[in-house]
Amino acid sequence: MLNKLRKNLSNSIGWSTKRRLVILESDDWGSIRTRSKADYDSMLAKKIAVDRSNFTRYDSLESNDDLERLFETLYKYKDFRGSCAVFTPMCVVANPNFESVRESNFNEYHYESFTETCNRYPNHDRVHELWLNGIKNKTFIPQFHGREHLNVKRWMDGLKARDKGLHIMFEHQSIGASYFDNKQITEHLAAFSPKKKEDITYYSSVINQGLFLFEELCGYKASYFVASNSPEPKITEKDLKENGIEYLTRYKLQKYPLGDGKFENEFNWLGKINKLGQIIITRNCGFEPSDNSKSDWVDSCLADIKNAFYWNKPAVVSTHRVNYVSGIVEKNGVSGIIELSKLLKRIIKIWPDVEFITSNELGDLIKESKNA
């Protein structure tokens, strides 16, 4: 009951539209996580708790097969205009270069393009080509999630401090687990979460390099940004704006990190405009079938969409890559696609006037209405 009240209050404010808009936002594409099933088994045997989270249990760099299966499903379901269902994948464009970091004796950080990472993985030789095909066919329109899904300074500090859990993962070219032998591993996934205030200045280069590489890989400038794992400092909005980012995902109650354990709070809503003219987009639906915390993610997501439409809000669905990849457990990627297919089929049946659009298209609609 409390959750239902919270959803109603959340959807009651902000930008509204009578159109039945569904936006499928999917984080983490391009990033490594657990490298392979063999690495998973080995890390588990070494007391890395990769079994505690669906992300470390199932998530891995997307393969040729994963993308082909996803695109086939999205293309199958059309809205009343004839447009197919479309993902807005929030992508990272680089990953740590483990060999170069090791050669520096953990004193220097080096990264590689996600395409270079793909070259070292089996069944990944066409991943970048498939990204481009998805863009061309309007089923997969990447936006920016960061340079890499990694807090470089925290990760490097942890490696230098001989954090054993981090070093075991390093040997397996994997990231993301939180516990080793029931002891907490250095947090390292929140790319823009500063430990100290002075760490924030480093993020300018991460944003500049990441967005430059994004344009090289995708053929266009990103206009939308979602930080990986936890919010970025508010001051970084200026760097994002200068690099072409017009739209930002925000929690309704956002805790912006200041470093040194301090935060500043801000209340947000769909369509809010910040001081730099960037438009805020908020998510209001969830679809995470790899997470067993709910027995029926299809029904749950449909209820979220119904509530959004009741309040004349677009349905912005958060659905992570982990639900659709099969590199660790093949059944995971297959079952995720089956559930996605069920969801899309029922959306079209319940709301025949539905429109599938991307996150940046939603941003454009909000901007046009504000200008008008």
- Which CATH number characterizes residue 363's domain? 3.20.20.370
Do residues 202 and 236 make contact, with C-beta atoms less than 8 angstroms apart? no
Amino acid found at 210? G
pLDDT tens per residue, range 83-132: 999 999 999 999 999 999 999 999 999 999 999 999 999 999 999 999 99
Instruction: List the single range of 9-18, 96-105, 157-166, 184-193 with lowest mean pLDDT.
Output: 9-18
Reply yes or no on whether the pLDDT at 8 is more than 90.
Answer: no
Token pair, residue 170, equals: 């390093």
pLDDT tens per residue, range 269-320: 999 999 999 999 999 999 999 999 999 999 999 999 999 999 999 999 999 9
3-state secondary structure the chain: CHHHHHHHHHHCCCCCCCCEEEEEEEEEECCCCCCCHHHHHHHHHCCECCCCCHHHHHCCCCCHHHHHHHHHHHHHCECCCCCECCEEEEEECEEECHHHHHHCCCCCCCEEEHHHHHHCCCCCCCHHHHHHHHHHCCCECCEEEECCCCCHHHHHHHHHCCCHHHHHHHHCCCCCCCEECCEECCCCCCCCCCCCHHHHHHHHHHHHHHHHHHHHHHCCCCCEECCCCCCCCHHHHHHHHHCCCCEEECCCEEEEEEECCEEEEEECCCCCECCCCCEEECCCEECCCCCCCCCCHHHHHHHHHHHHHHCCCCEEEECCHHHHCCCCCHHHHHHHHHHHHHHHHHHHHHCCCEEECCHHHHHHHHHHHHHC
Predicted confidence band of residue 3 (pLDDT cuts 50, 70, 90):
confident
pLDDT tens per residue, range 211-247: 999 999 999 999 999 999 999 999 999 999 999 999 9
Token pair, residue 311, equals: 């309040």
Q: Give how far the C-alpha of residue 77 lies from the chain's centroid of Cα atoms, to the nearest Å.
A: 23
Range of the domain at 83: 2-371
User: Does 223 or 4 have the greater pLDDT score?
Assistant: 223
List Cβ neighbours of 332 (8 Å cut-off, separation of 6 or more): 58, 290, 322, 323, 325, 326
Number of domains in the chain: 1
Predicted confidence band of residue 10 (pLDDT cuts 50, 70, 90):
confident
Q: For strand 179-180 and strand 315-318, is the pairing parallel, antiparallel, or unpaired?
A: unpaired
pLDDT at 309: 98
Quote the CA–CA distance of 240 and 280 in Å, as a whole number.
Answer: 13
Reply yes or no on whether the pLDDT at 2 is more than 60.
Answer: no
Predicted confidence band of residue 37 (pLDDT cuts 50, 70, 90):
very high
Do residues 148 and 192 make contact, with C-beta atoms less than 8 angstroms apart? no
Do residues 300 and 318 make contact, with C-beta atoms less than 8 angstroms apart? no
Do residues 151 and 190 make contact, with C-beta atoms less than 8 angstroms apart? yes
List Cβ neighbours of 263 (8 Å cut-off, separation of 6 or more): 255, 256, 257
pLDDT at 1: 58
pLDDT at 332: 97
Q: Count other C-beta atoms under 10 Å from residue 367's C-beta.
A: 17
Token pair, residue 349, equals: 């049946």
Token pair, residue 89, equals: 């994948």
Reply yes or no on whether the pLDDT at 52 is more than 70.
Answer: yes
pLDDT tens per residue, range 54-76: 999 999 999 999 999 999 999 99
Quote the CA–CA distance of 185 and 155 in Å, as a whole number.
Answer: 10
Quote the CA–CA distance of 268 and 179 in Å, as a whole number.
Answer: 33
Reply yes or no on whether the pLDDT at 371 is more than 90.
Answer: no
Token pair, residue 155, equals: 């990760």
pLDDT at 316: 98
Amino acid found at 121? Y
pLDDT tens per residue, range 312-352: 999 999 999 999 999 999 999 999 999 999 999 999 999 99
